[in-house]
Amino acid sequence: MKASDLFVAALEAEGVEYIFAVPGEENLDSLESLRTSSIQLVVTRHEQGAGFMAATYGRLTGKAGVCLSTLGRCDKPDHTCRLCGAGGFPPHHHHRSETNQDIEAGTIPDPLCKASTQIVNGNRIPSLVREGFRLAQEERPGAVLLELPEDIAEEDTIEPIIPPHDRRYAVAGDAVLDEAAKRILAAERSLLLIGAGANRRRASKALRRFVAETGFPFFDTQMGKGVVDENSELYLGTAALSSGDYVHCAIDKADLIVNIGHDVVEKPPFFMEPDGQTVIHINYKAAEVDQVYFPQLEVIGDIAGAVERLGKRLDGKLNCDRSYYTALHKEIASHIRETSDDDRFPMVPQRVVADVRSVMGRDDIVALDNGIYKIWFARNYIANEPGTILLDNALATMGAGLPSAMMAAMLSPGRRVLARRLEKAFECNGQVAGAYEVEPGIVALKKKWQHIK
């Protein structure tokens, strides 16, 4: 089989539905192989759009999104999404002489990707594709780049495809779960924090049950919004800032925080202090420790499994003084209501967020770029479902919102999608400017508002 056909067949075996691509001379063989495949080719005008769409696919489906570029790069350094990028490349035997760059092209993605490999033999395609998907999809998910040089793409190959297999994460052992339950039950004002790493389908289901059964008061991060329905008396807010926001009144009063899905790509939701709250870290991976995050107990392994088993241990015995939290919940809700009908013009962002919320259904999707307005959305927009507010609290690139909204609209027919399509994003990211006609079904919101204190 021709190598580019094998490459595309290996992608089909991984369940790839779409490839977001910039066609060019160096990936012609792959494009020809794609022409007769089950994979839909979505041509974008710039690699960035392809990267953002693939990243959003990863975030919404839990499977790797794939983008394909010609000479040049489409990888996105983002450890919050699953992404597999493939690049066409000049002939392998011309390596260094046709890279069209001053610097060694092969080293560029190294600090940006979980792995980056040039395929130098067509028969290695099945194993490299399988390994690329394994790595991209494994916690913490992130970008992987495979380069297929032109001359390798034409080769004849004989290797069979390696199909994906089932894989489960281990669940933390009884001893550490007993210890976590003991500390939670001994605390007087414990709080649950839901971060980006908990934004996974199984984890979200388990967390919803956990909160309903235990009555745990909770707050979330920007990328944890909607994992548990924020329309709840137990919700205390979203930590869009690291300190000094309303929600920090609750955090400052807490003596223990159970931090589920902490991810260092997010702005810290609060700063730990040496004599501050005890923190229990529950995640697939161990905590990356720094001056503001040094949890005293770590429960490592599958989040859904840990949360289910912890819930059984707490079994309605949570000894939490809720009176302060209940009063605070009311106070924050009334603050948000106060500005929601402010009729000044230009409009204040709080009013914009309130109006958007009032016309969007619980499953509809808002996709954002970056800026102060994002803080307002994080704080004031009540998210009911996971994946309904798409933003990066990580490397928040201006210009991501619109391609992200286009992907969301493709994956969610029938749901309304709103992109904040702002002039500033186009100024900061010329590649995105004019690169898209807004799709039917996406409403683009133009900026015309003023910030107030």
Ligand X SMILES: Cc1ncc(C[n+]2csc(CCOP(=O)(O)OP(=O)(O)O)c2C)c(N)n1
Does residue 435 bind ligand X (CB under 6 A)? no
CB of 396 to ligand X, least distance (A): 5
d(CA 85, CA 70): 11
d(CA 60, CA 376): 23
CB of 428 to ligand X, least distance (A): 4
Does residue 318 bind ligand X (CB under 6 A)? no
Q: Which is nearer to ligand X, 233 or 427 (CB)?
A: 427
How many CB atoms are closer than 10 A to CB 331? 11
d(CA 157, CA 169): 34
Q: Which is nearer to ligand X, 116 or 370 (CB)?
A: 370
Q: Which is nearer to ligand X, 165 or 446 (CB)?
A: 446
CB of 424 to ligand X, least distance (A): 3
Among 424, 431, 441, 443, binds ligand X (CB under 6 A): 424
Does residue 398 bind ligand X (CB under 6 A)? yes
Instruction: Point out which span in 30-38, 225-233, 321-329, 369-377 binds ligand X (CB under 6 A).
Output: 369-377
Q: Which residues contact 345 (CB under 8 A, 6 or more apart)?
A: none
CB of 352 to ligand X, least distance (A): 10
Does residue 371 bind ligand X (CB under 6 A)? yes
Does residue 48 bind ligand X (CB under 6 A)? no
Does residue 353 bind ligand X (CB under 6 A)? no
d(CA 177, CA 168): 19
Instruction: Point out which span in 48-56, 69-77, 239-247, 423-431 binds ligand X (CB under 6 A).
Output: 423-431
Among 103, 158, 175, 372, binds ligand X (CB under 6 A): 372
**For residue 124, with 0-12 CB atoms within 10 Å meaning exposed, 13-18 middle and 19 or more buried, which class applies?**
middle
Does residue 396 bind ligand X (CB under 6 A)? yes
CB of 154 to ligand X, least distance (A): 37
Helix 174-186 × helix 303-314 angle, to 10°? 50
Among 397, 401, 402, 409, binds ligand X (CB under 6 A): 397
**For residue 274, with 0-12 CB atoms within 10 Å meaning exposed, 13-18 middle and 19 or more buried, which class applies?**
exposed
Give 83's strand partners: 65, 143
Element (H, E) at 280: strand 278-283
Greatest distance between any 2 Cα atoms in the chain: 71
Does residue 370 bind ligand X (CB under 6 A)? yes
Does residue 373 bind ligand X (CB under 6 A)? yes
* Residue at 76: amino acid letter: K
Residues that bind ligand X (CB under 6 A): 370-373, 396-399, 422, 424, 428-429, 447
